[in-house]
């Protein structure tokens, strides 16, 4: 078991390394010169030239990748720091530390600091959304699957199909229209401004609701079909014909086997929300990773884009790893002795 985990971890580290190179290479194609972006529109050609030289912007791609990686793991100091650029003066960690993504051109702050605020917000959103999605979709999916063909099943199935076919922004706009614009119960945007006791909480309700509706409709359908498939397995027939009570059959024989497929989907949902639901965060003006990604892209903040993409990659790889681990725990056939 431990060997499987280590083996898998090694594989993921390798994947991350390859992917980080690819993303570094791809961001090369973004328009604009980094040095002129840093120095602003009124910089002289010679100034841009000299900063380019200092940053090594004309070095070969692979050299620059290694320098970026070295900076990230704390082996190489950040060349951009210092009075010359006016950046990094405020970084109390110095120019060389682990997790050094460099400076956000857009905000003029170390990227770790920018991420720390925003990522925390997105995690809050994720925890609430997934924390509600999982129980809701398990209960609805199992109910529908167990009573396949019944009125309850049909109601659940039709509702979930309609909800999955609605894009999130439609749901978001509808909810804003009803609860913010018409009823006025909740704020229509969620910039997480601190106010009175319930202010932040009330700003969370609508974005979380949109995510829960989108995710749980999808996950419910997966759970339902997995339960239906498992119920048709001969071993369930064996269990029933053994004379076991229906509850025992459901809990012991059906559920564990039916959970294998939904686990991946749930982890994909976590991945989806955690790496920034750009549209939802943009609509609600929610200060999370997704909106940050949008802003960075519009500004052309290349270091921030690289940092965000690398984080998205790590999240994807980690959820994948957790999914594999869950498989191993749920399905003994994978755990070949």
Q: Which residues lie near another protein (CB under 8 A)?
A: 4, 7-8, 149, 233-235, 237-245, 248, 252-253, 256-257, 324, 328, 330-337
- How distant, in Å, are the alpha carbons of 7, 10, 319 from that of 3? 6, 10, 19
Considering the complex, what minimum distance in angstroms separates the CB of residue 324 from another protein?
8
Nearer to another protein, 136 or 330 (CB): 330
Q: Are 216 and 132 in contact (CB under 8 A)?
A: yes
Closer residue to another protein (CB): 4 or 279: 4
Using left for φ > 0, alpha for ψ between -120 and 50, and beta otherwise, residue 305 falls in alpha
Considering the complex, what minimum distance in angstroms separates the CB of residue 62 from another protein? 29
List the alpha helices (DSSP H) in the chain: 2-27, 34-39, 45-55, 61-73, 111-146, 151-165, 168-175, 199-231, 234-241, 246-248, 256-258, 260-274, 278-283, 289-299, 302-330
Token pair recorded at residue 305: 């884009």
Looking at beta carbons only, is 1 or 44 nearer to another protein?
1
Smallest gap, in angstroms, from Cβ of residue 336 to another protein? 5
C-beta pairs of 189-196 under 8 Å, 24+ apart in sequence? 189/284, 189/285, 190/284, 190/285, 190/286, 191/285, 191/286, 191/287, 192/121, 192/286, 192/287
Which residue's CB is nearer to another protein, number 78 or number 257?
A: 257
- Indicate the residue among 197 and 333 with the shorter CB distance to another protein: 333
* Closest CB 337 distance from another protein, rounded Å: 7
3-class DSSP state of 298: helix
Residue 318 Cβ vs another protein, minimum distance, rounded to whole Å: 17
- Closer of 121 and 253 to another protein (Cβ): 253
For residue 264, the minimal CB distance to another protein (Å) is: 15
Helix (H, G, I), strand (E, B) or coil at 103: strand
């Amino acid at each position: 078991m431990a060997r499987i985990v280590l083996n898998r971890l090694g594989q993921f580290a390798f994947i991350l390394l390859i992917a980080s190179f690819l993303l570094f290479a791809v961001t090369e194609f973004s328009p604009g010169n980094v040095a002129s972006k840093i120095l602003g529109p009124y910089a002289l050609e010679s100034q841009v030239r000299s900063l380019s030289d200092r940053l090594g912007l004309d070095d070969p791609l692979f050299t620059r990748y290694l320098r970026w990686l070295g900076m990230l793991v704390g082996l190489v100091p950040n060349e951009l720091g210092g009075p010359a650029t006016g950046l990094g003066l405020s970084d109390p960690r110095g120019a060389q530390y682990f997790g050094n993504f460099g400076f956000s051109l857009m905000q003029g702050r170390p990227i770790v600091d920018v991420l720390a605020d925003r990522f925390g917000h997105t995690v809050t959103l994720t925890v609430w959304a997934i924390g509600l999605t999982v129980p809701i979709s398990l209960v609805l999916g199992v109910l529908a699957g167990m009573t396949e063909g019944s009125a309850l099943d049909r109601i659940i199935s039709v509702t979930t199909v309609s909800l999955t076919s609605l894009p999130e922004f439609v749901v978001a706009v509808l909810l804003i229209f009803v609860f913010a614009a018409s009823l006025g119960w909740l704020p229509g945007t969620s910039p997480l401004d601190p106010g009175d006791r319930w202010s932040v909480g009330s700003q969370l309700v609508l974005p979380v609701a949109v995510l829960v509706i989108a995710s749980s409709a999808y996950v419910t359908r997966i759970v339902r079909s997995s339960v239906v498939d498992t119920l048709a397995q001969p071993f369930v027939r064996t269990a029933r014909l053994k004379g076991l009570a229906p509850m025992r059959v459901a809990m012991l024989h059906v559920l564990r086997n039916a959970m294998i497929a939904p686990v991946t989907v749930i982890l994909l949902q976590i991945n989806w929300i955690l790496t920034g639901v750009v549209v939802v965060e943009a609509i609600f003006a929610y200060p999370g990773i997704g909106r940050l990604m949008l802003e960075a892209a519009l500004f052309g903040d290349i270091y921030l884009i690289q940092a965000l993409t690398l984080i998205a990659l790590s999240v994807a790889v980690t959820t994948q790893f957790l999914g594999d681990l869950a498989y191993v725990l749920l399905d003994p056939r994978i755990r070949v002795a």
